[in-house]
Amino acid sequence: MLTGKQKRYLRGRAATIKATLQMGKDGLTETFTEELKAALERDELVKVSVNKTSPMGVKEAAESCATGSESALVQIIGRKLVLYKRSEENPVIVLPE
């Protein structure tokens, strides 16, 4: 669970990155979930864009992505969501206490 201070820090870092993945008309598929897990392991902080053609709403997609990838939801901005998961092999982001 992230604290408010940690979420603020991650939101600041996420402001400069572009959307890594796009959720399209197929919604949350097994392939999408595997790609999301790989991106989180590689980058730790991932921005996902939810297209208008997606069968899921943004909040529903955010909850599903977070539970499916075992990550923490940092922020929802419009149709974009930011997820964080500490890398097990190569942690890069150091969170404030």
pLDDT digit string (tens) for 20-54? Answer: 999 999 989 999 999 999 999 999 999 999 999 99
Cα end-to-end distance, the chain, whole Å: 12
What tokens were used for 30? Answer: 């097994």
Query: How far is Cα 40 from Cα 43, in angstroms, rounded to an integer?
Result: 5
Per-chain mean pLDDT for the chain: 94
- Full-model pTM: 0.92
Pick one of 3.30.110.60, 3.40.50.620, 3.30.70.1430, 1.10.1200.10 as the CATH number of 4-84.
Answer: 3.30.110.60
Domain segments of the chain as ranges: 4-84
Query: How far is Cα 28 from Cα 4, in angstroms, rounded to an integer?
Result: 28
